[in-house]
Amino acid sequence: MASAAAAAAAAEPAHNLQPPKVKMKARRLKGHKDSANCCIASSQNPRLIVTSGEDGRVCWFDLRCNDEPQLAMDVSEEPILSLCFKSGNEDNIYVSSGKEIKCFDVRLRAPEITFIALSIFISRIYAATKWEPLENYNYNKEEINKVDTR
């Protein structure tokens, strides 16, 4: 009986489960003044990438556009070690910086512009703004290196 099952399995054609060969050029996204620490992709919008860095900045990239951020948020004086979208609402983002966690709503525009740059390659003006958090949690005694809302 075992030999019949082995013979039937051997008779079935083998499936090649290799990933498709898609040639894509690697891109270097620009927007941080220092190293990037974290990178997340949106589950609701597959072309959206959000990064955080040692410079205390959160950059939102639309991969359909050029390598410059569509939005740059200066949210901390300290490095941002982790970030995540709010579960069920990707307009809200949580970031960990030092011993605290901050929540921001990307739909709310920041009141104070701290940096303006004009791109000479395309006719766009980029503004980095200082953002005020919707929520701020500061209960830890040590640095927070991972945040998740699942």
Domain residues of the chain, as ranges?
Answer: 28-137
Bridge-partner residues for 32, per DSSP?
Answer: none
* Model pTM score: 0.71
Q: Give the phi and the psi of residue 19 in degrees, each rounded to 5.
A: -65, 150
Instruction: Give the residue-averaged pLDDT of 79-83.
Output: 95
CATH of domain 28-137: 2.130.10.10
Instruction: State pLDDT tens for residues 37-65.
Output: 999 999 998 899 999 999 999 999 999 99
In three-state secondary structure terms, 80 is: strand
| pLDDT bracket for residue 125 (50, 70, 90) | very low
In three-state secondary structure terms, 61 is: strand
